[in-house]
Structure 1
Amino acid sequence: MATILIVDDLKSTTDAVAQIVSANAHNPLTAASAEEAFALFKESDVDLVITDMKLPNKSGLDLLRQVREIDPMVPVIVMTAFGTVKNAVDAMKWGAFDYLTKPVSMVELEVKLDKALQQRSLLLNNQDLQLENNYLREEVHQQFSEIIGQSQEMQEVYSLVKRVAEARSPVLILGESGTGKELIAHAIHTNSDRSDKPFVKINCAALAEGILESELFGHEKGAFTNAIRRKPGRFEIAGAGTLFLDEIGEIAPSVQVKLLRVLQEKEFERVGGTETLSMRARIIAATNLDLEQQIASKQFREDLYYRLNVVSIQLPPLRRREEDIPILIAHFIAKYASELGKKIKAMSPAALKCLCNYTWPGNIRELENTIERAIVLTRNDQIDCEDLPIHIQQKNDLASDDSVDEEDLTKNMEDHEKKLIFKALLETRGNISKAAAKLNIKRTTLRYKMEKYDFLRYKFE
């Protein structure tokens, strides 16, 4: 049960909102002024503030600033009318979680209340991320120091890695690009009895067929043009350690045949050589392709697949590890702030919300690149929404405006469209071209809808 502070000088409003809060099993506190609200906030453990912008003496914006100074982790939802545009803009600049237009819809209030409290929980979990990381690394997963994550999906991966590490069988790691397959391969090696021996990796997709064969098996002097001396291959270099074959699904059929023989016979020859060498390394392979589909299309050998797939580990995409996103963000902020020599204290709640709402098709690699970019670009001591790529901001804009079910479908759709347009105009300060781009509609279409909803009379500044 959360404690929610409701602020409005109209008792009818605070009573109505308090009734909805109570109906959702939360504890409401009410205040009629910013001063009274701030006093309650300081003496109570408040999880969410819902305040009118127009209050006697001090405004809702003043209260928002005071709340943010004491505890930036507490989300604030402001209530405003369409006519008070400047106040709404200022509230969003100062980090208001969201806004409600009067008269307040009960269903909309419930939806945004739930979202705000989820955000509060997320921020609280994020507050001591560095301590949590240290605990996880030192107490729970001492042998997985390079891997960040505490979600249930990753707990299952850790458990499987520990069991797999004790065996000597080949391992096939499956997962989308950017999910950390190499880190898992290295963790298997580190936790095995081969940890004091070489961990050798090769990206099979990065090399042409002839070069890949030479890199894997080595070559003799004179085996081909420019082969001026004998060169050991990765199998030879790995010795009794671990050989990690990344992007195994990309290798050519001729190399697949030779790799199959190595796995079956545990022996190989260098290119251009006759001496048979023993293969002692443990093989870990990884791919982001669907190998069964590759087999069906005759692009990957079925017998090689079964040789490699003795044990498989499926890595979850980042969109299924939502609770790990704040932890990864904190890790990358600490990493790149140090590397780039910038004093970044934190990430704003609005920016964190933006990143958590994004689906991350590029997974952890995309998140890491996004944080590095933000640290390079930011001029402040914290990362804000404007420091993030525009496509991530746009995805968040669309995700944050959920429509609600009502009997009048047409009215509901118009209300939803009206709020999307209004929010876009607020965030672009009335720049029609930028707002149209944010909404992914034509400028003329936006102009028409602004006339339809009587928005042309407002000054979005």
Structure 2
Amino acid sequence: MEKEIQKILIIDDDEDVLFAAKMLLKKHVKEVLIEKDPRKIPFLLNQSSYDVILLDMNFSQDTTSGKEGIYWLEQIKERDPSAVVILITAYGDVETAVSALKKGATDFVLKPWQNEKLIATIHAAAQLKNSYNQVNRLQQEKQQLEESIDAPFKSIIGESKALRNVFTIIDKVAATDANILILGENGTGKELIARALHKKSRRKDKSFVSVDMGALTDSLFESELFGHKKGAFTDAKIDRAGRFEIADQGTIFLDEIGNLSAALQAKLLNVLQSRTVTRLGSNEAIPFDTRLICATNEDIHSMVAKGNFRQDLLYRINTVEIHLPALRDRIEDIPLLANHFLEIYAAKYKKDNMKIDTSALRLLQKYPWPGNIRELQHAIERAIIMSDHSSLQSDDFFFLNNKGPVKDNHDNMEDSFNLDDVEKQTIQKAIQIHGGNISKAAEELGLTRASLYRRISKYDIS
């Protein structure tokens, strides 16, 4: 079954030709746009995309050579290399046709045309355009998949009651299209839960697209999420689909959504309500159908109460909430996680048959793990690298004992259980351990540099 042709653009300075073509094609195409003036081509390409472009080769300035048509063909292909262009002329010859095809034309027809032949040519060209779109989408999905493969670990490890409660919720909601909000501290595995929801959903064979909202500046927000047209800004060298387009029919995961400014919250809400995106530099609304999963380590309900997060946006994203337990609240899972990471990093660093001593496991279960699973993962990797033995001992985790609470000049937070205090202490420790090197501290904490800088500002860490 042929896919319906959505939109065709016809450019010819002869109004009779435009009218005749439109009358013929409107039965076969959803929307037919006509234009007399080829100088409007750049504007028209910025406004929308077209399945097929029919372009006259001879305009009033040059009625016989075809050079003007070839010039505009080159302009179209420069702006949109995947554009499918059929050239039409009353003065066709083999040499002109070959020249046009070499410069990127898809086909070449003479006028007066045969109606059946023109319709068949347009359907073939539209199928080619659809193939281009599919290849482009597959390339972008492949890139997203390759990025996903680099995720720190691929499965959810644990048998604690707290984690089993999370699994129960996943089983209930995964098959639905309900919007999910995942709440939990840094390092608790929010993206893993999002991936589990996707894998158990009806969209599992489509893309899972992850976006770190905390790493997006205001200037990059729209380009990354909604896409852009070539020339929309200085570095926009080609047309680019946004993350919502790439995630069409699949799942989009917006991490650290609590970090969005008020202005960006409004833009996101508008897109979620309309279920369409408009690329930067274009006025064309592009519909999308994607499952939305969001996550944050912030107390988002408190943020709403303080006016820092839109209540209507919160209603939109949290049809169902999933609360992830901190690692200190599921200590029975620590041996399972530790052995999981041991297997991974022992293989990576070619230290076969390594084990973890019982005394070391007891130490790991007593440590509060302010960085949660991500901190445990890094601790196991570091211990394996530094150990000279076939079994990890308590002494191999000496660096955990050295991470005493950091005292600032005003408050002693040593015994504080406030999550903000714990996060502030952890950040201060990481920065101190790495001698003020923000890049290394961010890597140790499992954060981006941008995310770490925001937290340094939030907690006024000097």
Deviation at 1:385, TM superposition (A): 1.5
| Structure 2 counterpart of 1:231 | 240
Deviation at 1:345, TM superposition (A): 2.7
Within 2, Cα distance between the matches of 1:394 and 1:164? 40
Q: Paired residue for 2:253, among 227, 230, 244?
A: 244
1:283 aligns with 2:292: yes
Within 2, Cα distance between the matches of 1:390 and 1:316? 25
Within 2, Cα distance between the matches of 1:264 and 1:389? 52
For this pair of structures, how many residues does the alignment match? 253
For the Cα contact (< 8 Å) 1:218–1:234, is it kept in 2? Answer: yes
Deviation at 1:185, TM superposition (A): 0.1
| Structure 1 counterpart of 2:348 | 339
State the SS of the aligned residue for 1:205: helix
Q: Paired residue for 1:326, among 335, 341, 355?
A: 335
Deviation at 1:310, TM superposition (A): 0.7
For the Cα contact (< 8 Å) 1:242–1:282, is it kept in 2? Answer: yes
For the Cα contact (< 8 Å) 2:157–2:337, is it kept in 1? Answer: yes
Q: 1:301 to 1:394 in 2, by over 3 A?
A: closer
What does residue range 4-43 of structure 1 map to in structure 2 within 5 Å? Answer: none
Within 2, Cα distance between the matches of 1:179 and 1:353? 20
Within 2, Cα distance between the matches of 1:145 and 1:213? 30
Within 2, Cα distance between the matches of 1:261 and 1:218? 16
Deviation at 1:297, TM superposition (A): 2.8
For the Cα contact (< 8 Å) 2:154–2:192, is it kept in 1? Answer: no
For the Cα contact (< 8 Å) 1:370–1:389, is it kept in 2? Answer: no
For the Cα contact (< 8 Å) 1:329–1:371, is it kept in 2? Answer: yes
Q: Paired residue for 1:377, among 364, 372, 386?
A: 386
Within 2, Cα distance between the matches of 1:207 and 1:383? 40
For the Cα contact (< 8 Å) 1:355–1:392, is it kept in 2? Answer: no
1:354 aligns with 2:382: no
TM-score, structure 2 normalization: 0.53
Deviation at 1:389, TM superposition (A): 3.7
Letter of the 1:388 partner, please give it.
Answer: F
Deviation at 1:260, TM superposition (A): 0.6
State the SS of the aligned residue for 1:268: strand
Deviation at 1:268, TM superposition (A): 1.8
Unaligned stretches of 5+ residues in structure 1: 1-143, 396-461
For the Cα contact (< 8 Å) 1:204–1:246, is it kept in 2? Answer: yes
| Structure 2 counterpart of 1:364 | 373
| Structure 2 counterpart of 1:150 | 159
1:297 aligns with 2:340: no
TM-score, structure 1 normalization: 0.53
Q: 1:185 to 1:394 in 2, by over 3 A?
A: closer
Q: Deviation string for 1:6-43 (max 9, x for gaps)? A: xxxxxxxxxxxxxxxxxxxxxxxxxxxxxxxxxxxxxx
Letter of the 1:255 partner, please give it.
Answer: L
Letter of the 2:166 partner, please give it.
Answer: V
Q: Paired residue for 1:202, among 180, 200, 211?
A: 211
Within 1, Cα distance between the matches of 2:316 and 2:338? 38
Q: Deviation string for 1:206-242 (max 9, x for gaps)? A: 1211112210000112211221221110000111100
Letter of the 1:348 partner, please give it.
Answer: D
Within 2, Cα distance between the matches of 1:390 and 1:194? 43
Within 1, Cα distance between the matches of 2:256 and 2:293? 11
Deviation at 1:394, TM superposition (A): 7.4
What does residue range 155-166 of structure 1 map to in structure 2 within 5 Å? Answer: 155-166=164-175
Two-structure CA RMSD over aligned residues (Å): 1.8
Deviation at 1:384, TM superposition (A): 1.0
| Structure 2 counterpart of 1:103 | none
State the SS of the aligned residue for 2:219: helix
1:316 aligns with 2:325: yes
Within 1, Cα distance between the matches of 2:371 and 2:353? 24
| Structure 1 counterpart of 2:418 | none
Deviation at 1:174, TM superposition (A): 0.4
Q: Deviation string for 1:153-206 (max 9, x for gaps)? A: 111111101111111011000000000000000000000000000000110001
State the SS of the aligned residue for 1:285: strand
| Structure 2 counterpart of 1:270 | 279
Q: Deviation string for 1:287-334 (max 9, x for gaps)? A: 000111222332211110110011110000001101100000110101
Within 2, Cα distance between the matches of 1:394 and 1:178? 18
Deviation at 1:344, TM superposition (A): 4.4
Within 2, Cα distance between the matches of 1:340 and 1:332? 12
Letter of the 2:277 partner, please give it.
Answer: F
Q: 1:394 to 1:308 in 2, by over 3 A?
A: closer
1:187 aligns with 2:161: no
For the Cα contact (< 8 Å) 1:165–1:189, is it kept in 2? Answer: yes
State the SS of the aligned residue for 1:202: strand
Deviation at 1:350, TM superposition (A): 1.7
Identity of aligned residues (%): 46
Unaligned stretches of 5+ residues in structure 2: 1-152, 405-462
Within 2, Cα distance between the matches of 1:243 and 1:310? 15
Deviation at 1:243, TM superposition (A): 0.3
For the Cα contact (< 8 Å) 1:344–1:375, is it kept in 2? Answer: no
Deviation at 1:360, TM superposition (A): 0.7
Moved over 4 A (4+): none
Within 1, Cα distance between the matches of 2:252 and 2:224? 12
Q: 1:298 to 1:307 in 2, by over 3 A?
A: same
